[in-house]
């Protein structure tokens, strides 16, 4: 990768209905929605906010931002410091 290319910090936005409000356990994994894959946190946050606001009437629905870049390169956070 060249030094001029922007760094990709991949983020995944997923969501679905939870069993209860105490845990992050989905009610049915077959119904988990993959909203999308995003190159940075800012764009993932925009997508997350739109989905979360569209389901505000269902207290059991939750959407999450998964920091895929941390899973792909666990040492990345240390490198950034």
The structural domains of the chain, ordered by start, are: 11-70 (3.30.70.2400)
Chain segment 26-76, per-residue pLDDT in tens: 999 999 999 999 999 999 999 999 999 999 999 999 999 999 988 887 776
How does residue 81 score in pLDDT terms, banded at 50, 70 and 90? very low
Q: What's the half-sphere exposure (Cβ side, CA atoms, 13 Å) at 58?
A: 13
CA nearest neighbour of 39 among 68, 59, 71: 68
Output 42-46 pairs: Cβ under 8 A, ≥24 positions apart: 43/11, 44/11, 44/12, 44/13
Distance, CA of 49 to chain centre: 11
End-to-end CA, the chain: 20
């Amino acid at each position: 990768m060249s030094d001029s290319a922007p760094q990709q910090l991949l983020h995944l936005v997923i969501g679905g209905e939870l069993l209860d409000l105490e845990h992050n356990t989905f009610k049915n994994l077959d119904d988990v929605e993959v909203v999308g894959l995003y190159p940075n946190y800012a764009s993932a946050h925009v997508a997350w906010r739109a989905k979360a606001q569209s389901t505000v009437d269902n207290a059991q629905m939750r959407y999450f931002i998964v920091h895929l870049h941390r899973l792909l390169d666990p040492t990345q956070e240390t490198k950034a410091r």
